[in-house]
Chain A
């Protein structure tokens, strides 16, 4: 399958009053046609910034792509002008945001907000655009769409609003859909509905999805491949099976151990001790070294390169080096390892 989206060695920095924060430090990602890629990691790992950079939505003038490229259908998006980027956004690539309570304009009707993108990208008359908006609302499962288009966001519940946000994102049949923690702000019961909806829509429209989340349950449910980010870098990437059953990076181990599971013999939840690195002054070596239970001297000094575990599975960890001592993944993960 061909790559629809490719991120190569992307660096993004923010200027703050405390100096430059290097939020993304050399990220590589690939997204194949029709596939769903999950990016996981804790807050501040650079996952949201990466997707904002792809969309050209970094807050100006503080944030900026320092180097690297974002290839969409072989076009480098970082080189496009604002105008060219506007043409692409919402039509070719679109985005769903985390909090449906704040991501809709409170003083504009739902219909207008959906039609805005349609009118901009497809030469439809007002009446046709409205028809399309009603269709979209129906598609995302909102009852009474003819009535609902005239209403304002505060007349919708959280889950319904997220459906509207999805309708806006899908309005122009985008090739790539970026979903930034689309279920985090929702009730657990609604979360499943929204995920089902997204899966269903992906099947219908064959859209490629980049899914940002820190919920590994969502990953297992939605994605085919996973990229684990930490400290502004992708530290492990592979298929869902590879990441869940043969994780190689101690951080991934930590993530998996901290996930509650029903079948675990050990009912205790394990936390990863410590806090993520300060990216205004990033560590020289592996960003996880300070919290890693298997850290070696080399880890604090040098950033490891990627080593291939399989064709699809890569990780950046010194433990993969033959000079390092043999370390077994913790038991909590091996329990889950019985396929």
Chain B
């Protein structure tokens, strides 16, 4: 025997009473689905960092425009096309915050006393204020569009799935036609009818946008409807409202959240895209897309005018996508172990 026999004493051969409760005890603590998902999300470093950056951008979009004394439409040709200058950071030569363009300190040559953190445009408007105000507008459009998509999509998909049969048949034939129409085409035509502007962009995006959400909700609900626990609940006499509120909705919520997290960046992109091709937000209101469009016009001489809004929109989209991926991984039951 490998063990030294003197460790094993005669007393150790006394039978011990086995308590069934002990052997049936569940190893590991139980966690609810939402808590579990949330914990998994917190473990995803990329998602957490993205969420923090997003919060910062949202915060800046809200307070950024009030951080200096310039409004979004305060024009002054005396201070036009000034490069970015941030006191403190202007000593670091590789950062674009030294107020110097082509080795000339334009703040000296134009006798500008104030610092413009992101510079000014050709009308002398402060780009710091305009960039954050533009972020605000872009975010507003995206969030509103996503919210409307969500409302219509969930209602449409839910009705289609829950009532099934003829209702589902008719609703789905409509969806099949809409899904075949390229949304780029619809959006551009809608904007042409409605004239470019905040509301028309939202309307144009929502007109095709809700279809995705409705399909996801319908598919998920159809799947859930045939699950055995829903059947069990129904057999036990649960009411429609109880089945919907206790079983169908909570189990679809994850999918809804994930899809919304991807709708927002795609709305931000479409707004920027439309503004870039001249169908979006018009001056003096700014959006990230219109700022990029305007900055692009003078990019060869004053690149800073396109770089700041370009970076903000890229960061926004990257963070939304990473956070969306993180949420999907956190909610995906396939990855649960």
Contacts and interface: CB of A to CB of B under 8 A. Distances in A.
Interface of A: 16-17, 273-275, 278, 290-298, 300-302, 305, 318, 321, 323-325
Contact of B12 (A273, A291, A292, A297): A297
Contacts, number: 51
Interface string B289-322: 0000000000000000000000000000000000
Given A273-B20, A290-B18, A301-B8, 13 more contacts: A274-B20, A274-B24, A275-B23, A291-B18, A293-B18, A295-B15, A297-B11, A297-B14, A298-B8, A301-B12, A305-B1, A323-B13, A325-B13
B92 interface: no
A291 B13 contact: no
Interface in B1-57: 1-3, 7-8, 10-16, 18, 20, 22-24, 27
Contacts of A274: 20, 23-24
Main secondary structure of the interface of A (DSSP, over half): loop
B14 A273 contact: no
Contact of A305 (B2, B24, B337): B2
Given A305-B1, A305-B2, A273 B13 contact: no
Contacts of B23: 273-275, 290-291
A304 to B, nearest CB: 9
B265 to A, nearest CB: 29
A325 B15 contact: yes
B6 to A, nearest CB: 12
A292 B1 contact: no
B19 to A, nearest CB: 10
Given A275-B23, A290-B23, A305-B1, A298 B15 contact: no
A296 B13 contact: yes
Given A275-B24, A292-B18, A302 B8 contact: yes
Contacts of B22: 290
13 contacts: A275-B24, A290-B22, A290-B23, A292-B18, A293-B18, A296-B12, A296-B14, A297-B13, A297-B14, A301-B8, A323-B10, A323-B13, A325-B13
Q: Kindly name the residue among B2, B10, B15, B20 whose own CB sees the greatest number of chain A CB atoms within 10 A.
A: B15
A142 to B, nearest CB: 34
A323 B13 CA distance: 7
A167 to B, nearest CB: 32
A296 B27 CA distance: 22
B16 to A, nearest CB: 6
